[in-house]
Structure 1
């Protein structure tokens, strides 16, 4: 994979490609011709998502700015009880109640403030991301170490009905901290985290299926939908390996039944066994979102390249997702 470029735009056009390494910031302003203000307001979407977990708990946190509105969610799934102990979400106004900055990692700052709630993800001087969640249902204070991390993914590509999208994704960041939900306190010092920082000029109707799981020896990110195979990547012992198109075989009416996720190049073939899920279904007419994110384990095989011997994977904690938005 090529090293990450300095910008998501080159000579006035999106700098399409799949790269390895950090990007300083997402900046679409050099695009030529540049889309008009109103179009950008309606189509520019950005978010920061953090998923972190260990054998006992999985936590998902997102702060989203869709241009004309903002939202955030935070949940904690108890893997031993197979139950959500906390599931919080709230909508707000961008700029007033929420902001997602253009720096994906170094310099990152995303925040949401609403009635009885405060969330933030901020980069600190020692190259750590500090995640803070304070809601009535869930509290989290965690540090995610970026120093010494495996090379992150940077993907830039076209999208149907929109203009371009870019995403920076990490694998297996060490975590220190704690979480509280349902009257219980969880230590997160054995957890691993992954960050998804995304920023794009997207279509009004956008749909995707997604899978993500990470630990130091093996991690992956897969997406099928609006972004093609741009963000499909496998990390083996910290080495990033580009993957082909992803396939998700599952029953949408029974999302807690096993899923099969695999790539058409034969480098990844896994079965996902859900333990439970976080779901949301909103329909405001002019905007709608249908979303389910099961939590569970992946098992199967991965390969470092065509013809390479298969490497067994078992007990790899992560999530899948089936998502459709009108935004």
Structure 2
């Protein structure tokens, strides 16, 4: 991976703390470079700590991964919402602009899903349901995340290699209507493996992968807009909604750069129309052209989820700092998302 020197006034992010909660039960909030070894909320004190029942129903924990090549995009997630769990995976053909395979399955509390509290080293999560299996884990022997997925006539076996990867983003902060939340987002990582759908086999060699491990206490109703795209040299994560600008960041030539609030201009009634996304600090201005969309609308009476995730390409420019020359972005593969959850 190529690197560039930083100007003297380049605003670097502080290094991630050893723990999220200090000896007095208070939370280290902010944006950090790197990751904590464990996301552990057991020592929380007032005003963050709540009762056992409240924590049970407001604790949300998920592991997400994106795999992208010139041919396909895969989205994979395992989610524990406290009182139940769910998982999904899909394979989108970017050339044919259509979904080749997908599944979404609600599970049984305490039985069908497991997510440990390690966001990077030692990470492991799985979902098991008849005919459907997902397994995500860190392999110390080759310092890689391995992802194995099997459902119907689809099998995914991928490795995301951490060697030479840019620092992760750790974002920790308060949530309106909830308590505290932490997320660890990776930049782009070298990808290997393959995806098989029916008679079609897609190599992941030369592709790029990224992961998202999130863990916290969210509001009963949570909304967000999200955008994410990565190559090995450049990537970004943007969110507008429940977590404010706390997880907005740019990866550029191995450097991790904080971004301010993100503005999403799009047509909610037609998410396949172009999107315009920019940040208030003037460091990012992008147009997104969708290639297709995965959507889902669940209504479980006491819970609901409305979700649209277009897959497509970003073009425009980014800047490392206010005085830098704009860096062109051309056809960078990624996703946007509109999501409402009552959970």
Q: TM range, normalised to the smaller chain? A: over 0.9
Note the C-alpha offset of 1:7. Answer: 1.3
Task: Give the match for residue 309 of structure 1.
Answer: 325
Equivalent residue, structure 1, for 2:115: 100
Q: Map residues 129-278 of structure 1 onto 2, 5 A cutoff.
A: 129-278=145-294
Query: 1:8 is matched with which residue: 5, 20, 29?
Result: 20
Give aligned pairs, total: 327
Give the CA deviation at 1:94. Answer: 3.3
Q: Distance in 1 between matches of 2:274 and 2:198?
A: 28
Say yes or no: does 1:290 pair with 2:306.
yes
Question: 1-side partners of 2:20 and 2:243: how far apart?
Answer: 15
Aligned partner of 1:18 among 20, 31, 35: 31
> Matched residue of 1:312: which SS?
strand
Asked if the contact 1:154/1:167 (under 8 Å) is kept, the reply is yes
Q: Structure 1: any 5+ residue segments left out of the alignment?
A: none
**Structure 2 residue 94 is the aligned partner of structure 1 residue 82:** no
- Native 8 Å contact 1:87 1:137 kept in 2: no
Q: Secondary structure at the match of 1:42?
A: helix
* Match of residue 279 from structure 1: 295
Match of 1:65? 80
Counterpart Cα distance in 2 of 1:169 and 1:299: 22
Partners of 1:86 and 1:182 within 8 A in 2: no
User: Residues of 1 paired with 2:161 and 2:331: CA distance?
Assistant: 23
Aligned twin of 2:45: 32
Length-normalised TM-score, structure 2? 0.94
Partner residue, 2:129? 114
CA–CA distance in structure 2, aligned partners of residues 180 and 256 of structure 1: 27
Deviation at 1:260, TM superposition (A): 0.5
Aligned-CA RMSD value: 0.9
**Secondary structure of the corresponding residue to residue 104 of structure 1:** coil
Partner of 2:7: none
Q: Distance in 2 between matches of 1:264 and 1:94?
A: 41
**Which has the larger displacement, 35-44 or 78-87?**
35-44
Q: Give the structure with the larger strand fraction.
A: 1
Question: Where do 4+ consecutive residues of structure 1 move more than 2 Å?
Answer: none
Note the residue ranges of structure 2 that are not aligned, 5 or more in a row. Answer: 1-12
Q: Tell me the TM-score normalised to structure 1 length.
A: 0.98
Question: Secondary structure at the residue paired with 1:207?
Answer: strand
d(CA) in 2 for partners of 1:161 and 1:3? 28
